[in-house]
Amino acid sequence: MTETLIFLIAMLLISLFLGVPVSTALGFTALAAIMAFMGSLHLTRFGIIAFTQGTSLNQMVAPLFIVMAEFLARGGMADDIYALLSRLMRRLRGGLALSTTLACTVFAALCGSSPATAAAIGRISISQMTSRGYRPDFAVGTVAAGGTLGIMIPPSLTFVLYGIITETSIAKLLMAGLLPGLMLSAMFCISIIIRVRLNPRIVTDDPPEKTGNAGERDSDGDSLRKGISAAVPAFALIFLVLGTMYTGLATPTEAAGFGAVGALLIVSLQRRLNARIFKETLLASARTSCMILFMIIMGFCLSYVISYLGIAQQLATFIIGSGLNRWSVMIMLFVLWFIMGCLMDPGSMVILTVPFIYPALIGMGFDAIWLGVVSTLCVEIGMITPPVGLNLFILRSISDVPMGMIIKGALPYVGVLITGLTILCVFPQIALFLPSMM
């Protein structure tokens, strides 16, 4: 087991350091292991896996959610949500930061992607906050943290991938992320309120009526009604997608289909759909979906190799028989996930690690759904952990804020996320309550 495990890890690391896509690294490692340890006859398994996964209805979940997110993002839904929430909270000190966090929470329920959430809300909110006197590091850090909710609050593409890899109920995984996601959003808001009270200088010119455009000064209610009418369809779509899954009226694939059609209808009825947006949406969705499908196929090929060689089972036996406390093993895994979350996207992290460690963790008594939630939260932490958190670079690309200031703004929220992870470890029912009621 030791030689084959070292071989697989070495092949993976060499491939990743060469800069090839993660899916290519997975496929190359599986191919090398087959030729080295199993024989060329096993190469036929690649074709079987590709056909099985490529024709599975489960693979329709991610593309349909991606289509939904693309239509809403390109149709300006993030602008509507942020405009409404900022208007509702404009009388609060730090209200723009609070509305940014809540806008990230709502858009996460429409998007399923952390970088997309951070980019969509960040393009609108960072300039609004800095123009109103918010300290740039505080403004950008708030968006970076809020963006991480995109992979926790359903529909989360990370949960879909985890469910496919582990053969866990995707519907239960998606619902398991709802309460933890809302809890983290509330913790972000509480931390903002506390920081503004302790250090009012970070929002020096925040009082809402002091300056701004005509829309910000308008208090006659007409502007608010327009904002509500523009944003309400997004909230209705969220309830449609999550409600049909929770009640069992629709499978995850059917709910994703409702979401995609609903998003198309919303942008069409609001007269925001044109030929360019339609074409860009379908092309972007196809690119992302093909990348995810190819990654899944290659991940299953590597999982087949790991299973055939008995690596996962032997690793599970070794860990369970090592005498280590199961929480000691979990903490070491948390650290690994933090690091990997800094270096790669959530889907890649799941596909690279889960086939190796999942049997051992299940054997130690951890719940499969809870594991999906905490692994996703670990990646959230990695995505805003300097120096290589993915969300940090996303925000650097869409703003003029220096990287050092972005890192400074994100660090306090790392502590908030670690606190949230601790709470989920102590009270796992936060993640398991909704799935248990389905």
Contacts 24+ apart (CB under 8 A), 316-324: 316/359, 316/360, 316/363, 318/1, 319/360, 319/363, 319/364, 320/360, 320/363, 320/364
Beta bridge partners of 134: 203
In whole angstroms, give the CA distance from residue 96 to residue 71.
25
| Pairwise CA distance, residues 396 & 405, whole Å | 10
Percentages (nearest 5) of helix, strand, coil residues in the chain: 80, 0, 20
Contacts of 205 (CB under 8 A, 6+ apart): 132, 133, 211
Whole-number pLDDT of residue 222: 63
Following DSSP, what letter does each residue of 209-275 receive, concatenated?
Answer: TSS--HHHH--SSHHHHHHHHHHHHHHHHHHHHHHHHHHTSS-HHHHHHHHHHHHHHHHHHTT---H
310 SS3 class: coil
Sign of the dihedral through C-alpha 339, 342, 346, 352:
negative
The residue with tokens 């890649």 is 348
Q: CA nearest 113: which of 175, 163, 171, 70? A: 70
Eight-state DSSP code of residue 134? B
pLDDT tens digits, residue range 183-201? Answer: 999 999 999 999 999 988 8
Q: Which residues of the chain have pLDDT under 50?
A: 208-212, 214-217, 220
Give the pLDDT score at 206.
55
> 0.85 cut: is pTM over it?
no
Q: Length of the chain in residues, anyone?
A: 438
CA geometry: angle at 370 spanning 369 and 371, to 5°? Answer: 90
How far is it, in rounded angstroms, from Cα 82 to Cα 74? Answer: 15
Residue pLDDT, tens place only, 316-337: 777 767 777 889 888 888 888 8
Q: Tell me how far apart the alpha carbons of residues 153 and 249 are, in angstroms, rounded to a whole number.
A: 20
| DSSP bridge pairs for 203 | 134
3-class DSSP state for residue 113? coil
